[in-house]
Structure 1
């Protein structure tokens, strides 16, 4: 993608996120939500699976299965949110805890990083589990920065991270300031409640990205718009960039099969969204939770285990882990 095309895509996404935040949120989620989840999971598996020993993969898988169970029980109304969310976050804490020993063997400072993250989630769980989950939903949109930093090297990485700073930090902050909303409103190019799906007005959907304490404040709509823009850029990188970096396909047929499978499943879910957006979003959230939470331990382990290496914490010496 050329610089001009990328810049145009970013500007258009920013304008649509501000002018038609609800329509942009619902359409991008229904159209690209599942495809981005499957693509991201495929990338993570293809790039990181061989670096982890079997016992660690098993532990991560077990915790993810628990998350699926808790989220499913909540979606189907078998347990309330105030029960499912703390249980889910407890599993996330477990995902961090199991990688801390590996981080410590690499560098005690990385061990501190993992411990601080673990402690932060515990504090968030005790303070407000719902708000903590909401915060992670927003921060998850920044994970492409981690994948880019892990993949690229040298000047190429520096340039890419600078671009990420503009796209994932600077532009959302400008939107959050409320100035774009005021400007587009002044020229009449704004419709906050427009949507392709019957989801009600924007005020009934603010809770997706805006905590209850802020929903009646002036910052609520700019905050929602900024989060929608981040979501859109997250989709762009995951669907448009990550697949180009994947290696290890056994054949073009395997790659083609995965692509068509993603298209087929995404089409089915899109139809489901047109029938019942709220229910479809809840079901989508089950698999979305898996792809979001698995990236926390994976990105932490990426600090320890370089590309083209296999981790074996029982046999590797300290020098090997450092290298």
Structure 2
């Protein structure tokens, strides 16, 4: 990793980035307690598109030997179907189709990574079929879980990336687990309820998207909105600040792969499209949110097969990936 070239104290395991995570988590937590709806809405309008672009840059650069050939083409085809479902008027049909396409994305990852191990492939297929049946039976729960799961996945990317740290990995991972797991658990437990500001009509509307239906009309609604606002903010910290700064090798790989967006051009693209969408958010929030949800499908759904393949034993490089890459072409 090129982070070793940074001055001592500025490497990813050093004091400065850890202090950055701690400061960001503290500010995000205070704001999530006092103004969760504002943090969620303004954060999405301001940083949503930019973090989409930078996350896609990292994932496609870091995992360039996984995301290639026919495998990548099939993933993009399935995710484009999800985008179409999200552009259609909300209805049971498009929601069911999106669920099936979601599991199609996961099944594709299992097929390409477990093809040499048919027993494991059969077991994974059985699990996916069972999970898909549950999701189709309880679609509202499916989308709430998916929404929060997306904000948790940076921990897995940071865990995988941190393997190259020459020192300080344990402390680094402890800090990540603190904001990804411990603080949300604290919020959901009710331990911080006394610090919450009073709920608003906007908070109540957001709660329908971020709260399991069985708890929607309880005090848990405000807690889930706060958890979402906090994790979304930290999600942006990872993709907009930390990984662009401390994983330049992934950006360099992306530049080789997509020279049209090399260097600052990716940032300019994210800022320009984000500014245009922010105008739509300001004039028609519902329309802006629907359009963002559709566009964001590419970055949100592309990360899941990559993470699944890592869990199944794949790596950013190496013989296993080379075999998959060759088979995908």
Length-normalised TM-score, structure 1: 0.83
Q: Quote how far apart the aligned CAs of 1:8 are.
A: 2.2
Could you list the per-position Cα deviations for residues 266-309 of structure 1 after superposition, in whole angstroms to 9, with x for gaps in the alignment?
11111211111111001100012221111111112234432334
Partners of 2:179 and 2:28 lie apart in 1 by 11
Q: Check if 1:285 corresponds to 2:293.
A: yes
Q: 2:9: which partner in 1?
A: none
Structure 1: stretches of 5+ with no match in the other structure:
194-199, 317-323
1:40–1:238 CA contact under 8 A, matched in 2: yes
Q: What are the within-5 Å matches in structure 2 for residues 103-142 of structure 1?
A: 103-105=113-115, 111=121, 114-115=124-125, 118-142=128-152
1:65 and 2:80 matched: yes
Q: Which residue is 1:82 aligned to? A: 92
Deviation of residue 170 (structure 1)?
A: 0.4
Secondary structure of the residue aligned to 1:312 is helix
- Which whole-Å deviations, capped at 9, do the CAs of 1:166-209 have from their partners, x for residues lacking one? 11110011111222221x25xxxx2533xxxxxx5321221120
Task: Please give the alpha-carbon distance, in whole angstroms, between the structure 2 residues aligned to 1:36 and 1:315.
Answer: 31
User: Which of 304, 312, 316 is equivalent to 2:323?
Assistant: 312
**Equivalent position of 1:196 in the other structure:** none
- Structure 1, residues 133-160: CA drift from partner, whole Å, max 9, x if none? 1211111101111111222216554333
Q: Partner of 1:99: helix, strand, or coil?
A: helix
Counterpart Cα distance in 2 of 1:283 and 1:44: 22
Q: 2:162 & 2:278 partners in 1: Cα distance?
A: 34
1:243-258 alignment runs, 5 A limit: 243-244=244-245, 245=247, 246=250, 247-248=252-253, 249-250=255-256, 254-258=262-266
Whether contact under 8 Å (1:148, 1:160) holds in the other structure is no
- The equivalent of 1:93 in structure 2 is 103
Partners of 1:253 and 1:69 lie apart in 2 by 25
Q: Determine the C-alpha separation between the residues in 2 that align with 1:121 and 1:235.
A: 29
1:252/1:98 Cα in 2 relative to 1: closer, same or farther (>3 Å)?
closer
Change (3 A) 1:312 1:296: same
Q: Is the 8 A contact 1:141 1:234 kept in 2?
A: yes
Deviation string, structure 1 residues 231-263 (Cα, Å, up to 9, x no partner)? 111111111122231232358982111111111
SS in 1 for 2:307: helix
Bigger Cα displacement from structure 2, 152-161 vs 3-12? 152-161
Taking only aligned residues, the RMSD between alpha carbons, in angstroms, comes to 2.6
Runs of 5+ in structure 2 lacking a partner? 1-15
- 1:41: how far off? 1.4
CA distance in 1, matches of 2:138, 2:108: 24
Match of 1:33 among 45, 48, 51: 48
The Cα shift of 1:117 comes to 5.3
Report how far residue 116 of structure 1 moved. 6.2
State the Cα distance separating 1:124 from its structure 2 match. Answer: 2.6
Mapping 1:228-267, distance limit 5 Å:
228-244=229-245, 245=247, 246=250, 247-248=252-253, 249-250=255-256, 254-267=262-275
User: How high is the TM-score relative to the length of structure 2?
Assistant: 0.82
